[in-house]
């Protein structure tokens, strides 16, 4: 008798667990809330690196970038860098190329410069990520 009463309850519970429910929208927490042009992987880089130029413009539909970063520390820095792209709606955009970290070495008191075409064309804002190469 108990088995007969328990069977419908177990079937109902199993059915509820299998139901995926309605699709949900992306979490708003994934949006870039506080965009900064320079994001550093280690806090001590804050006093060492300074973006002295970060320009973007569109020519023939392509997003062109120019960036200059100065090393304000007293020693040479071996670093990794990449651009960060955010679209007009505030979502971070990446491509396979833009997700890859690249290497740079900046001498003490020196500058690093880069100019070229962006990997993500529908970006509204461009920033840079930097971290110490270990």
pLDDT in tens, 93-116: 888 888 999 999 999 999 999 999
Burial of 77 per CB tally in 10 Å (0-12, 13-18, 19+): buried
Q: What is the CA radius of gyration of the chain?
A: 24
> What is the C-alpha to C-alpha distance for residues 27 and 57, in angstroms, rounded to an integer?
30
Question: pTM of the full predicted structure?
Answer: 0.69
pLDDT of residue 31: 64
**Does 6 have pLDDT greater than 70?**
no
96-to-76, 78, 80, 82, 93 alpha-carbon distances in Å: 29, 23, 16, 11, 10
Domain 32-132 top-level CATH class: mainly beta
Listing DSSP states for 19-83 in one string gives: ---S--PPPGGGS-SS--SEEESSGGGGGTEEEEEEEEEEETTEEEEEEEEEE-SSS-EEEEEEE
* 19 band by pLDDT with thresholds 50, 70 and 90: very low
pLDDT of residue 33: 54
pLDDT in tens, 85-97: 888 888 888 888 8
pLDDT in tens, 43-83: 889 889 998 998 988 877 778 899 999 999 999 999 999 99
pLDDT in tens, 20-52: 444 445 555 556 656 677 788 888 898 899 989
pLDDT of residue 15: 44
Domain ranges of the chain: 32-132
């Amino acid at each position: 008798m108990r088995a007969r009463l328990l069977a419908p309850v177990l079937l109902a519970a199993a059915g509820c667990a299998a139901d995926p429910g309605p699709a949900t929208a992306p979490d708003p927490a994934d949006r870039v809330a506080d965009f900064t042009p320079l994001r550093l992987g280690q806090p001590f880089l804050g006093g060492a690196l300074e973006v002295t130029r970060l320009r973007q413009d569109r020519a023939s539909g392509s997003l062109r970038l120019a960036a200059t970063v100065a090393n304000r520390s007293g020693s040479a820095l071996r670093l990794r860098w990449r651009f960060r792209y955010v679209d007009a709606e505030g979502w971070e955009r990446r491509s396979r190329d833009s997700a890859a970290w690249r290497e740079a070495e900046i001498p003490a008191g020196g500058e690093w410069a880069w100019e070229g075409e962006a990997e993500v064309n529908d970006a509204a804002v461009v920033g840079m990520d930097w971290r110490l190469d270990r």
